[in-house]
Amino acid sequence: MDQVFDGVSSVLKACQGLKTPCYVIDEKKLERNAEVLASVISHTGCRILLAQKAFSNYDFYPLISGYISGTEASGLFEAKLGKEEMPEGEVHVFSAAYRDDEISEIISCADHIVFNSIYQLKKFGPAAKKAGRSLGLRINPECSTQEGHEIYDPCAAGSRLGVTRGIWDREMTPEAIALLDGIHFHTLCEQGSDALEITLRAVEEKFGDILPQMKWLNMGGGHHITKEGYDVARLEKLLIYAKEKWDVQVYLEPGEAVALNAGYLLSRVLDVVENSGVKIAILDASAACHMPDVIEMPYTPPLLNASAGSSKQYVYTLAGPTCLSGDVIGQYGFDAELKTGDMLVFGDMAIYTTCKNNTFNGMPLPDLYRLKEDGRAERLTDFGYSDFKRRLGSS
């Protein structure tokens, strides 16, 4: 909790008068995370990419780009964003399947293109190779290290993500493997380097005979590198091992580690209702619209001056204002009663929020603020009715 709300006093001072809900991203915390990643790069020779699926607020790319190696994209739009807003860095892209009408533009803006199937490697690889792109194939080492988050487990039985060794042996041809420069795997989600060690062992067992033929190895994302207590030394040892064992350039592409604990969602209490002895504070922020991972993951986000559960005297269920019955953030305990107009500050809200939020029920998108190093809050967006309407029709 200390890591989440470290320095939050400057946020409260700068943001008291802001219209809520709004997101506030702290430059100092972003830079602190970037420094950790830059240290790993320096110690190991690896390259680290920003996975834009977790954090794609490009106003901060100039700050981040001084520390890392480029961006990772999940499709055409993210690839274009990376090329436009972090042009000095590498642009890597992976998609579960590429479209015929987009592949030419992807080839034009991506440096590395990773395919999810041998079929698509054969279909699109020759044109990409001719354009001078570095090509990779995502593998599935069939090694699950997830617990409790099956929706985020790419190695679950029946997963559509990555080529298993059985499929490789059945479908790979000399012509296809000649197109390949690298192997990509991504199996982790908010995990430590111990899980990476287990996974790397499985990759070596399943694909160790292939790796000496490659120029690079991308270990994907899900590495919680900037989380307090993460074993960075073990990570660095694994990266150096892979680099020396197979003579490859090693890549990591974390998203969460770049912006972990660097953002806040500010919200205010609109009303307090009661049902069956449960007090429910209805906020102007919605779990479904403004922090969808709360429902999807699911998890209970950290909240300043409160604790999850019922350990304190005053207990409330915090919920959003939409019509969705399940628009619930969680149960929290407070030292004092909540009143209409009270401001609440949720932590770790830079990741999987602004890139996943939505306007269900006509909910407005929260504006985004940059907390500058001098303590000032700079407004970056001006969302309103037109943003809601533009998504739904022609006018």
**By three-state DSSP, how is residue 137 classified?**
strand
Taking all residues of the chain, what is their mean pLDDT, rounded to a whole number? 96
In this predicted structure, the answer to whether residue 1 has a pLDDT above a threshold of 70 is: no
Q: pLDDT tens for residues 266-305?
A: 999 999 999 999 999 999 999 999 999 999 988 999 999 9
User: What superfamily in CATH does domain 2-25+262-390 come from?
Assistant: Lyase, Ornithine Decarboxylase; Chain A, domain 1 (2.40.37.10)
Using an 8 Å Cβ cutoff, are 293 and 352 in contact?
Answer: yes
In this predicted structure, the answer to whether residue 346 has a pLDDT above a threshold of 90 is: yes
Question: Residue range 186-212: average pLDDT?
Answer: 97
Question: Residue range 166-194: average pLDDT?
Answer: 97
Instruction: Provide the pLDDT for residue 218.
Output: 98
In this predicted structure, the answer to whether residue 368 has a pLDDT above a threshold of 80 is: yes
Residue 11 pLDDT level (bands cut at 50, 70, 90): confident
Instruction: Provide the pLDDT for residue 155.
Output: 94
pTM for this model (two decimals): 0.96
Instruction: Provide the pLDDT for residue 14.
Output: 87
- For the chain, give every domain's residue range: 2-25+262-390, 45-259
Residue 140 pLDDT level (bands cut at 50, 70, 90): very high
Instruction: Provide the pLDDT for residue 149.
Output: 72
Q: What does the CA dihedral 30, 42, 114, 109 come to, rounded to 10 degrees?
A: 70
The whole-angstrom separation of Cα 67 and Cα 47 is 10
Residue 210 pLDDT level (bands cut at 50, 70, 90): very high
81-90, 94-103, 146-155, 319-328: least confident range: 146-155
Question: Residue range 29-45: average pLDDT?
Answer: 98
Question: Residue range 94-108: average pLDDT?
Answer: 98
The 3-class SS string of 295-328 reads: HHCCCCCCECCCEECCCCCEEEEEECCCCCCCCE
Instruction: Provide the pLDDT for residue 10.
Output: 84
Question: Residue range 311-329: average pLDDT?
Answer: 97
The H helix count followed by the E strand count for the chain is: 15, 17
The dihedrals phi and psi of 333, each to the nearest 5 degrees, come to: -105, 140
Out of 3.20.20.10, 3.10.28.10, 3.40.50.300, 3.30.360.10, the CATH code matching 45-259 is 3.20.20.10
Residue with tokens 């320096």: 42
